[in-house]
Amino acid sequence: MHMSSTTENYSAAVQKVTDFWTQGSQGLGDFTLPSLQQIDLVPAVERYFEFVQQAVDVSRDFTLKWAQAVGSLPGAAREQA
């Protein structure tokens, strides 16, 4: 039940961010300057999110290893951890 709620919250947040970016990009489509070249921001955005995903993966792995280590400690040591 907790995981479902977390997934639903995450999905709702992703939808809000997607809507925000969609609305913002539609507004930018109306604003063009003839002297500026078209800029493809997609590769930069993809690299950014690849970096963020790697950071999340590293954090997840570290946290899981920490939780496993704490779980294997005797009672008194676990309470202090």
CA-closest candidate to residue 49, choices 7, 14, 3, 6: 14
Judge if 22 and 48 occupy the same domain: no
Structure confidence at residue 79 (pLDDT): 64
Structure confidence at residue 3 (pLDDT): 53
35 in a structural domain? no
- Two tokens at 81? 């951890």
The total of structural domains in the chain comes to 2
Judge if 50 and 80 occupy the same domain: yes
Alpha helix segments (H runs only) across the chain: 2-29, 42-71, 75-80
Judge if 21 and 52 occupy the same domain: no
Structure confidence at residue 1 (pLDDT): 45
Structure confidence at residue 6 (pLDDT): 72
**Structural domain that includes position 63:** 41-81
Structure confidence at residue 19 (pLDDT): 78
Q: Within the chain, which residues score under 70 in pLDDT?
A: 1-4, 24-36, 76-81
34 in a structural domain? no
pTM: 0.45
Judge if 47 and 25 occupy the same domain: no
Structure confidence at residue 18 (pLDDT): 80
62 in a structural domain? yes
